[in-house]
Amino acid sequence: MSNDLTNSDTEENKIAVFPLTNNNTGDYNPQISDNKVVWESNDSNDSEIYLYNYDNGTVVQLTDNDIYESSPQISGNNIVWQGYDNNDSEIYLYDGSQTIQLTNNYIDEFNPQISGDKVIWEAYDGNDSEIYLYDGTQTIQLTNNDTYDYSPRISGNKIVWQGYDGKDSEIYLYDGTNTTKLTVNGTDDYSPQISGNNIVWQGYDNNDSEIYLYDGSQTIQLTNNDTYESSPQISGNNVVWEGSDGNDSEIYLYDGSQTIQLTNNDTYESSPQISGNNIVWQSYQNYSDPEIYLYDGTQTIQLTNNDTYESSPQILDNKVIWSSYDGNDSEIYLNFNPPLVPGEIQGIKWHDLNKNGQQDTGEPGLEGLTIYLDQNKNNQLDQGELSTVTDANGFYSFSNLNFGNYTVAEILQPGWKQTYPFAIEYKWSDSTQPEGIPFNWVDISTTGTKLNLGDENYAEVALPFNFSFYGEEYNSVKISSNGYLTFGKDATNYYNSWLPSSSDANNLIAPFWDDLNPNVGGSIYYYYNPTEEQFIVQYQDVPRYEVEGSLTFQTILNSDGTIVYQYDNLNATLNSATIGLENADGTKATQVAYNENYLSNDLAISFSPVLSPKNYLAHQVSLGTGEIIENLNFGNLLAGLRIEAEDYTNYYDTTAGNTGGVYRNDDVDLGTSGDIGGGYSVGWIDSGEWLTYNVNIPETGLYQPVLRVASEVDATHNLEISIDGQTSTLNFNGTGGWESWSDVAGGNLNLTAGNHELKLDLGSSGFNVNYIDLVPVAGIRIEAEDYTNYYDTTAGNTGGVYRNDDVDLGTSGDIGGGYSVGWIDSGEWLTYNVNIPETGLYQPVLRVASEVDATHNLEISIDGKTTTLSVDGTGGWQSWSDAIAKSLNLTAGTHELKINLHSSGFNINYIDLLPYTDLNVASSVATDELTGNPDQTSLVSDSNQDLFTTANNSDNLLSGSQEKDVFVLGDVFEPYYAAQGWEDYVLVTNFASGDVIQLHGSADNYYLGASPEGLPKGTAIFWQGSADEAVAIVEDVFDLTLDSDSFVFI
C-alpha cells in the first residue's frame, strides 16, 4: 500500500503516515497504550480482537470464534472487550498471557473500560443499568438502584459515571471506598471523563451545554456562552472539547489556566482526543470526508489529505492511530512506522496424474508457472498484485509479507485443469431409490449420553474424530434443540429456511430443522460407536413447538465424511421442516426438502461428499506476523497439449511461396483461421507434403492425437502423425466448408516424457489444419505379469524371469521395458485385482504382439460384463500394437478382471482401462456409445443408456432414451455448435431426469434462454459472446439451470 495519505500544511510539517493493516476485512475502533495497539476486525464471519506489539513487531489475534467481539480498550498489557456468547454480551479480559471471561450470565454487559488491572462496565440487571468493577481479583457491583447508571470511566482507583437521580442525570465519583455525587442541580450532566483527580464533563445550563471541571476539591465552569460545547476529554490538567462558534464546530483547549481556540475555520472539527500537550481530532473538509489533524503543543499539522474517510483518532503522547477507508474497506493507520515481522506463504504446484488432489510419489512439480496474490478476488492477475513463478520442483513462495488476509491463486494454463484445491458438494439418495441406502435404525436411547436441552437451546459436544464437512475439518459440533447440528455460531434458530441461505443458521446438518421443544417432552442423545466409527445423535419422541405429536429420528456422522439421516417414528406435522446440508457462509447446499410432505417412517437418506467439477478455487489464508504458511499447493492435470499447425519447425511443400501471405515468409501456405479462437491455419494442402514440430511431452503415458480440420472437398482425406517411430493414421470426410471446422481423432500413442519431434504426413490434398491436440488418456494400467491367479497348460515358467510359477513370462522389448506374458496356449486364463476410481465407461486396450499371421481371440470380463477381442499377427514377437475392445460400464471400487485366452501364439504386455470420455460424472453413465459423423443428420437412442458423442457441428438431432443418457456438446478444448449462430445448432429431444449435457469450459461461458419463435420450444443454450452463438435447444424442457446436475463442464 502506498503512503499517499501523507500530507501536512507545509513541507516542513510533513509527517509520514503508515498502514498497520492491509487486508480485505474491516479494521476499526483502534486504541493505544504504551507501545501496543488493539482493534477489532471483521474476519468475514464476525469481528475479532487483534493486538499489535511495537516492541517485537508482532500482531496477535486474541480471539478466533464464531461470536462478535467489540469495544476493545487497553491499559499496559491488559485488554478488555465485550463479546457475544450466543446469548448476550459478556466482558472478557486479556492479561498479557491468557483470556479470562469476567462475566457469565444472562444479562447484557457493555462499554468496558480499563486502568491497570481494574475493569469497569455497565450492565443491565433486569430493571436498569448498573456499574460493576473488577478489581483484579473479584467483581464488585458499585451501584444498585432503580435508576440508570452508565458511561463509566476509570483512572487508577477512581471511577466516574453519570446516573439518573430521578430528576436528571448527575455525575458520580467512586474513590476506591466511597461514592460521591459531584453534581446536584436540575439540569443534565453527562459524558464524564477522568484523569487522576481531575474530572471533566458537559452539562446543560438551561440554555446550551457547557464544560465543567472538577479538580479534586472544587468544580469549575470552563465555558459560559450561548453555543454548544461537547465531547470533553482530559489528560492531567489539560482539557479539550469541541464547541460551536456560531458557524461550525471548533476545537478548544484549556491548559490549566486559560482556554485557547485551536481552530478557526469553516469546517467541522470533532472527536478530539488528548494526551499530555498533544491533541488529535478529525475535521470535515468541504463537507466531504474527514481528515486527521494533530496539535503538538505548538502547531497544528494535517496528517491526512485524501478522498477517503478517516475516523476514530486516538493518541498517546505524540503517537496517533486511526481507522481509514482505503477504497476497499477500513484499515488501521499510524503516524509512526510500525516494525512488523514479515510472514511467508509457500507451496507446490504439481502434476496430479491420478486426480486424487494430493501429491503422490512420482508426481512431479510443474516449473515456470505463475502463482499470484489475488487481493481483489477477481480471478485474474491485475497490475500491482504480487506474483511469482514455480521453480524446477514446482515450489513457490511469497516472502516479506505483512500480516493479513491473502488470496493465493494460480494462472491455469490452456489444456490443464485444476484438481486441488477443490470444492466439495454432496450427492444424496434415499432408501426408496433402487441404489439407495437401506433403513437400518441404530437405537442409542439406552446407551447414549442424554442432553438436557430446553427450548431454543444447544449443547456443544466434542467429536471422537475429525469430521470433514465441505472441505473443512471439525472436532466438535453443536447439537440444537431445533432438529439440526451445526459447526457454526447459531445453534438456536427455530425459523427454518430454504437452503442455501446466507442468514443463520449456517454450516449445518439438518435432518429435521423446525421449531422443536424438548423442554416439554422427549429426549436428545449422542453416542460414539467405535466399531463402525460413527457419531450418532438421536432425537427421541421430541414434540414440535405447539406440543403436537412427537418425532424420533437420528443423524449418523461417519468418519469417512458421509452422513446418514434415519426416521423411525414421525407422528407430527412434516411439511414445515428443512432437510439438507449447508456450508459455512450459506452459499452452497444440498437441499432434500423444504416445507413439503417428503419424510416417512423407516426412511433413510445418505449424503456423500464429491469433488465439484464446476469450481476454480484459490487458497484463502490469514497470515500472522512472522508466520510461515506452508502447503498452499495447486494440483493440475494435463487435459491436452495443443500444437498450432502454423508453428512448424521444418517442412516440405510442393509449391513456392506462402499462398495465404500471412504469419510466415516461406513456402508453407497459411491462412487466417475462422475457427473459435482465431489465429492461423495450414491450407492449400497437396498430397505428399509434410510438417514437423518440436513437442515437449510432460509425462510418460498414452496420448490420443486429435486434429482440427476443415474441407470443402467431399472426399476421404488421410494423414499420419508419427512420434518416436509410432504412427497414428487419421481419415476423415469433407466437413462442408473451408471454415467448417471439425475434430478427427487418431489411435493412442505411447509417449515418453521429454522433447520429441512430431511429424505430420499429409497423404491427400484439399483440406486445412488448424491445430493438433495430444490428449492424455487417463487410464488404469494393469501389467500382464502382475496377475493374482492363473491357469496355465504347462508346468514351469518357460521364460524364467520375474516369477517362479507356471505362467510363462519374458522380457518385453516394448517402450518402457518390463515383462510380458508369452508362450500362450488356448484355454489358459489370468486374473487381476483392479481398483476403478470412478463409476463410468471404460475401454479395454491390450498391448499385444505376435509373429503368427492368424487371428487370435481372447475375452476380458469384470463383474459379469464381458468384451471380446480378435487380434491379428503384428509381424513379430516384439512388434507391439494396441488391440481395442468394446467399452464396459464399471462401478467404482475394487474388482477382479479376468482374461480368458481362447487361442495360442501371441504375447501380452499390459491392459489399459481407458475412460471413454472425461465426464466428471460420479454416478452411472451411458452403457452404449453413439458416435456421429458429418454424413449423418441424427443420432437416435435405443432403449439403453447411451453416450452421444457427436462429430463437432455435424449431427443436428440427438434423441435420448427412457434411460440415462449423456449428450456431449463440447470437449476439453472447445464448444460444439458455437460458430454459425442459428445456422448450426443441435436439437436435443427426449431429455429426461438423470440425463447429462457435457459442455466445454465452465458455467460462466454459457447462458440459457428461451428458443426463438419458429424453432422447437424449449431451453436454448448459448455460448457467451453474442445471442447468435446458439449451441443447442433442449426441446420441451424449461427448468434447466447451469448449476444443476444436468450439466457437466470439462
pLDDT in tens, 502-530: 777 889 999 999 999 999 999 999 999 99
Torsion of CA 222, 224, 225, 228, to 10 degrees: 60
971 confidence band (pLDDT: 50, 70, 90): low
Is the model more confident about 987 or about 778? 987
Contacts of 384 (CB under 8 A, 6+ apart): none
Q: Domain locations in the chain?
A: 18-334, 343-421+616-637, 424-611, 643-772, 780-915, 928-1049
What's the average model confidence in pLDDT over 993-1004? Answer: 79
9 confidence band (pLDDT: 50, 70, 90): very low
pLDDT at 274: 97
pLDDT in tens, 546-559: 777 899 999 999 99
962 confidence band (pLDDT: 50, 70, 90): low
- Helices (H), ranges, 318-399: none
Phi-psi bin for 863: left (phi > 0), alpha (psi -120 to 50), beta? left
The backbone torsions φ and ψ at residue 718, rounded to the nearest 5 degrees and listed phi first, read -140, 155
Is the model more confident about 595 or about 676? 595
Q: Which of 297-334 are b and which e, b meaning 16 or more Cβ less than 10 Å from the residue's Cβ?
A: eeebbbbbebebebbbbbbbebbbbbbbbbeebbbbbb
pLDDT at 943: 34
Whether pLDDT at 95 is above 90: yes
Q: Which of 559, 564, 630, 617 is nearest to 588 (CA)?
A: 617
What's the average model confidence in pLDDT over 444-458? Answer: 93
Rounded distance, CA 565 to CA 574, Å?
A: 15
Place of cell 465426464: 919
Whether pLDDT at 898 is above 50: yes
Fold of 643-772: Jelly Rolls (2.60.120)
The sign one gets for the Cα dihedral 974, 979, 982, 985 is: negative
Beta strand 789-791 with 523-529 is: unpaired
Same fold for the pair 18-334 and 343-421+616-637: no
> From start to end of 763-855, where are the E strands?
768-776, 780-783, 789-791, 809-811, 819-821, 829-836, 840-850
pLDDT in tens, 371-418: 999 988 888 899 989 999 999 999 999 999 988 888 999 998 866 888
CB of 668 within 8 A of CB of 682? yes
CB of 771 within 8 A of CB of 758? no
pLDDT at 961: 59
Whether pLDDT at 836 is above 50: yes
Q: Which of 589, 592, 705 is nearest to 643 (CA)?
A: 705
pLDDT at 215: 95
Whether pLDDT at 5 is above 80: no
Task: Please check whether the domain covering 780-915 is classified as CATH 2.40.110.10.
Answer: no
What's the average model confidence in pLDDT over 679-708? Answer: 91
Longest dimension (CA), the chain: 120
Question: pLDDT > 70: what percent of the chain?
Answer: 90
Whether omega before 500 lies within 30 degrees of 0, making that bond cis, reads: yes
Q: Which of 342, 1002, 340, 373 is nearest to 632 (CA)?
A: 373
- Least confident interval from 334-348, 736-750, 974-988: 974-988
Indicate the average pLDDT of the chain.
Answer: 86
pLDDT at 235: 97
pLDDT at 972: 56
How many Å from the N-terminal Cα to the C-terminal Cα in the chain? 38
pLDDT at 936: 34
Whether pLDDT at 611 is above 80: no
Contacts of 1013 (CB under 8 A, 6+ apart): none
Question: pLDDT > 90: what percent of the chain?
Answer: 56
pLDDT in tens, 210-234: 999 999 999 999 999 988 999 999 9
pLDDT in tens, 846-883: 899 999 999 999 999 998 888 888 888 999 999 988 88
Rounded distance, CA 218 to CA 54, Å?
A: 40
Rounded distance, CA 894 to CA 797, Å?
A: 28
562 confidence band (pLDDT: 50, 70, 90): very high
Which CATH number applies to 18-334: 1.10.357.10, 2.140.10.30, 3.40.462.10, 3.40.50.800?
2.140.10.30
pLDDT at 286: 61
The pTM (predicted TM-score) of the whole model is: 0.56
Task: Please check whether the domain covering 343-421+616-637 is classified as CATH 2.60.40.10.
Answer: yes
The grid coordinates of residue 471 equal 472441505
Q: Give me the sheet containing 330-334, strands edge to edge.
A: 18-19, 330-334, 319-325, 310-316
Beta strand 780-783 with 907-915 is: antiparallel
Q: Which amino acid is at 376?
A: N
User: CA triplet 173, 175, 180: central angle to 5 degrees?
Assistant: 40
Beta strand 343-351 with 628-629 is: parallel
Is the model more confident about 493 or about 486? 486
